[in-house]
Amino acid sequence: MSNTETRDLFVTGLRNAHAMENQALSIMKPQLSRIEHYPEIANKLEQHIRETEGQIGRVEEILAGLNEDHSALKDMALSFTGAMAAMGHTIAGDEILKNSFANYAFENLEIAAYKSLLTIAEIGGHNAAALNLQANLAEEVAMAKWLDENIIDLTKKFVSLRQAGEKAKI
Ligand SMILES: [Fe+2]
């Protein structure tokens, strides 16, 4: 594969990552605004929203270094999908659980995307970019780990709130 082709792949991957992170924001922000009874989840979401904003900045920095802009239009389309997905969980009453499963799935999607991008960065010799991508990857891994470790406690709390009659509270 030529250098140009590798670069094109890298730029496409970076634009996708940029859109993915905006989608992450559009999933997490509506969730955060609805949480009442799970401050530990609200705190973690708030932290990861800030991290995600930083990740978007890192991806933009890499794209700017390659003299590439990010695609605002594509980002908008994906953000809309994210908002719809978040809203789909509000009806059934187990929103906090379903959101947690979806967040875990999304973090793992992000992990896969950054591992792939890092590989392309290494093949293309984009060493400075790789440092930024590694920083993003580390935050996604930490968030996925937290969600994984929290799912049992969250479910226990959800069940006990239900038993106490706190119906459909998130
Ligand atoms: Fe994330």
Q: What is the b/e burial string over 86-109, where b = at least 16 CB atoms within 10 angstroms of the residue's CB?
A: beebeeeebbbbebbebbbebbbe
Q: Give me 130's structure tokens.
A: 């790789």
CA of 91 to the centre of ligand 1 (A): 25
pLDDT at 139 over 90: yes
Q: Cα(26)–Cα(53) distance, rounded to whole angstroms?
A: 12
CA of 52 to the centre of ligand 1 (A): 6
Asked if residue 158 lies in contact with residue 40, where contact means CB atoms within 8 angstroms, the answer is: no
* pLDDT at residue 46, rounded to an integer: 98
* pLDDT at residue 104, rounded to an integer: 97
Q: Average pLDDT, stretch 54-65?
A: 96
Q: Which of 142, 107, 134, 135 is nearest to 118 (CA)?
A: 134
* pLDDT at residue 74, rounded to an integer: 59
* pLDDT at residue 159, rounded to an integer: 93
Domains and CATH numbers, the chain: 3-163 (1.20.1260.10)
CA of 124 to the centre of ligand 1 (A): 25
CA of 164 to the centre of ligand 1 (A): 33
Asked if residue 79 lies in contact with residue 26, where contact means CB atoms within 8 angstroms, the answer is: yes
CA of 17 to the centre of ligand 1 (A): 11
pLDDT in tens, 75-98: 655 555 555 555 555 556 889 999
Element (H, E) at 104: helix 95-124
